[in-house]
Structure 1
Amino acid sequence: MKIFIKKKWKYCLFIIPIIIVTIIAIYTKDYYRAMPEAKSMLRSNDKVEYKGSPWIEYTAKNKIITKGLIIYPGGKVSPEAYAPLASKVAESGFVVVIVPMPLNLAVLSPNKAEKVIEKHPKIKQWYIAGHSLGGVMVAQFAYKNQYKINGLILLASYPQKSNNLSSSGVKVLSMYGTKDGFIGKDKIDESKKLLPTSTKWIPINGGNHSQNGWYGFQKGDNTATITRDEQQNIIGKSIVQFMSGN
């Protein structure tokens, strides 16, 4: 009987991880892919140099670069969906890196920014941005690495209670769409006690959750009353001003 029980436990210990991995694989298989407009930006142009490995990276051409931005994608969203935003921000004199995540979930590798920072020793100031779940994870990274990060940018997101940045010296920019179907003003207002009083808040009138990237419409979101281009322009210009100290 004891031998049978031991064999049964060994079998359970073997099969449970397989079941967990299978469930995760099924859950993440149906992710949000980048739109053609985003894929067309996976290249260099006259203003930025593009690199596609080990992450998506844009570097401004013919400029002295001292500041960098790291972007964590939203949950189950292809990193390529943020290529137009990254390329546009980089044009203003920055290096911008979009970090791909395991199974498109930043929660599975929240410290990936460390490798980016290590590979760019010439960059003196680092900013980190994240959309939705990616924002939760960059807030966590900023909380744990405040000496490495100069600024935190939240796109339709907020920090967890365990990552209280209210007394932090890290600059924070928080943007959210007034038509967002996932992150409403109530959640944004609730997050204010977890962020510095100096935080810059930018409500994007008519913007929704999906238009923070180029990946189509996210199920459960509200319909935006401004175009994706309009929302992206607001986000891009706000990030550049924030990183430039304006």
Structure 2
Amino acid sequence: MKKKWKYSLLLIPIIIIIIIGYTSDYYREMPEAKIMLRSNDKVEYTGSPWIEYTAKNKIVTKGLIIYPGGKVAPEAYAPLAEKVAESGFKVVIVPMPMNLAVLSPNKAEKVIGKYPQIKQWYIAGHSLGGVMASQFAYKNQDKINGLILLAAYPQKSNNLSSSVVKVLSMYGTKDGFVGKDKIDESRKLLPKSTKLIPIKGGNHSQNGWYGFQKGDNAATITRDEQQNIIDKAIVEFIGEN
């Protein structure tokens, strides 16, 4: 018995080292994203406990919650959040434990609870973040008005095909992880009214500002171009619904 305890105690430091190594290996935000972590003449910025942008000088009744992609710093989505907020919304990026939304898929619940003045909530997610955003939307259809998928799709257990939740799905045609085949296959899990936007020349990495993700394909449009397409589509989608 003492030997078992001895071996268990020896394993603890090894486990700690593995966890530290894993959590430090993630995609950090680019300088272009860091400079967006501030207020300006159009939006009010708050950095804790979430990354928030709220339109100034407007009555804000619609909010967007963003779940980051797997192992991507939440700050990498700051430029997109700031731009969307400018159009008259509150946008909240939710940091995740170990940068993995799968470890805390219900974090949006606290955001919604904090802001009762927001009458309509939308949730977006990139890649793994989109999978978890889909799960939250599926389980909270009375709280979520719309779901926005960036190179993502729901799990089979979260079938939204008969849901009243509006869905916008976007993916880059050069995406090295979530291509047209996966998007087409997942459409049966989404409402028939789903708005699908293929971003010609866009890839996976340019859904945020965190550099190039290993395993992705090279984009044939710039990050700015891809982000502008995403921003415009999200603003229109929220505005229409």
How far residue 16 of structure 1 moved from its aligned partner, in angstroms, is 6.2
Equivalenced residues, count: 241
Residue 136 of structure 2 is aligned to residue 164 of structure 1:
no
Q: 1:14 and 1:37 mapped to 2: Cα distance?
A: 44
Partner of 2:91: 96
Partner of 2:168: 173
User: How has the CA–CA distance of structure 1 residues 21 and 230 changed in structure 2, closer, same or farther, with 3 Å as cutoff?
Assistant: same
Residue 64 of structure 2 is aligned to residue 58 of structure 1:
no
Instruction: Answer with 18-27 or 108-117: which moved more.
Output: 18-27
Partner of 2:234: 239
User: How has the CA–CA distance of structure 1 residues 108 and 227 changed in structure 2, closer, same or farther, with 3 Å as cutoff?
Assistant: same
Partner of 2:198: 203
Q: TM-score, normalised by structure 1?
A: 0.94
- Report the RMSD for the aligned CA atoms in angstroms: 1.5
Of 35, 41, 44, 1:46 maps to: 41
User: How has the CA–CA distance of structure 1 residues 185 and 37 changed in structure 2, closer, same or farther, with 3 Å as cutoff?
Assistant: same
Partner of 1:3: none
Q: TM-score, normalised by structure 2?
A: 0.95
Of 80, 100, 108, 2:103 maps to: 108
Cα deviations by residue, 1:54-75 (Å, 9 ceiling, x for unpaired): 1100000011111000000001
Q: 2:7 and 2:183 mapped to 1: Cα distance?
A: 43
User: How has the CA–CA distance of structure 1 residues 13 and 167 changed in structure 2, closer, same or farther, with 3 Å as cutoff?
Assistant: farther
Q: Which amino acid aligns with 2:72?
A: V
Q: Which amino acid aligns with 2:34?
A: K
Of 174, 180, 184, 1:189 maps to: 184
5+ unaligned residues in a row in structure 2: which ranges? none
Identity of matched residues, %: 82
User: How has the CA–CA distance of structure 1 residues 12 and 57 changed in structure 2, closer, same or farther, with 3 Å as cutoff?
Assistant: same
Instruction: Answer with 96-105 or 25-34: which moved more.
Output: 25-34
Instruction: Answer with 24-33 or 153-162: which moved more.
Output: 24-33
Q: 1:151 and 1:237 mapped to 2: Cα distance?
A: 16
Q: 1:94 and 1:56 mapped to 2: Cα distance?
A: 14
